[in-house]
Amino acid sequence: MDQPDKIKTPDFSHITSEDLNHIYEPSEDSFLLIDALEKDLAFIRERGPSLCLEVGTGSGVVITALGSILGSQCHYIGTDINPRACSITQQTGRANGVDIETVRTDLVAEVIDRVRGSIDLLLFNPPYVVTPSEEVGQGDLEYTWAGGVKGREVLDRLLPSVDALLSPKGLFYLLVLKENDPEEIVSIMDSRGFSCECIMRRRTGPENLLVLRFSRK
């Protein structure tokens, strides 16, 4: 039977206005990352992934979208520092028939030892907005967008862990803003043995967004 090649936008009608006072609302960047995964779907399937990790799941729409197309061949883990985001991610998964294990943690601190070298798909839509450093990690909502200097202070804490997380065939999908200096990110990852391809770019209002895919050389 032919496998579907279109990823449906997950149903997230269970998310309330009160929830959105505490978690990141699914937005253009979320949907861009989903669109990039859809565009890359044949490539992903060739890799035969069995373990997927999304860092900072928020509403859970991205990992749920991926789970809805890849199905039960994959185990799905989502991390978030916000307990409400973890709960809503599980709800989003259940509403769309995807079983997601969530772990409340700062980035990957509580999961890295357990999943070391076994993540086939790593997803991250980081807090990327350029802000003063003191805004990083403040309150539920600021956590989701405040990126500090270059919008990179949170992302730069994850990059050193990518090599330890990914399996030999692992892929890392990263959403970035032009102001985050994607060229420098590519150079950093190149020095750690990863090649990069820009899968998709989109301008949304003042934001010029890109989705990068990293894989081992």
* Containing structural domain, residue 206: 19-216
132 in any annotated domain: yes
pLDDT tens track for 134-153: 888 776 676 688 889 999 99
pLDDT of 199 over the 70 cut: yes
Q: Is residue 110 part of a domain?
A: yes
3-state secondary structure the chain: CCCCCCCCCCCCCCCCCCHHHCCCCCCHHHHHHHHHHHHCHHHHHHHCCCEEEEECCCCCHHHHHHHHHHHHHCEEEEEECCHHHHHHHHHHHHHCCCCEEEEECCCCCCCHHHHCCCEEEEEECCCCECCCHHHCCCHHHHHHHECCHHHCCCHHHHHHHHHHHEEEEEEEEEEEEHHHCHHHHHHHHHHCCEEEEEEEEEEECCEEEEEEEEEEC
In a domain, 14, yes or no: no
The pTM for the full model equals 0.96
Q: Which residues are CB-neighbours of 57 under 8 A, at least 6 positions away?
A: 63, 78, 79, 80, 85, 86, 89, 100, 102
- How many structural domains are present in the chain? 1
In a domain, 11, yes or no: no
Contacts of 176 (CB under 8 A, 6+ apart): 126, 128, 155, 182, 185, 209, 210, 211, 212
Does 12 map to a domain?
no
23-37, 106-120, 122-136, 168-182, range with the lowest pLDDT: 122-136
Q: Check: CB of residue 192 under 8 Å from CB of residue 163.
A: yes
What number is the average pLDDT over the span 111-137?
93
CATH code of the domain in which 157 resides = 3.40.50.150
- Whether 3 maps to a domain, the answer reads no
Q: Is 186 among the domain residues?
A: yes
Strand ordering across the sheet containing 75-80? 100-104, 75-80, 51-55, 119-124, 166-177, 207-216, 194-204
pLDDT digits (tens, 9 = 90+) for 16-65: 999 999 999 999 999 999 999 999 999 999 999 999 999 999 999 999 99
Mean pLDDT of the chain, nearest integer: 94
Position 6 in a domain: no
| Percent of all residues in the chain with a pLDDT value above 70, rounded to a whole number | 97
How far is C-alpha 94 from the geometric centre of its chain's CA atoms?
19
Residue 2 binned pLDDT confidence (cut-offs 50, 70, 90): low
- C-alpha to C-alpha distance for 141 and 165, rounded to whole angstroms: 27
Is 163 in contact with 112 (CB distance < 8 Å)? no
d(CA 70, CA 67): 5
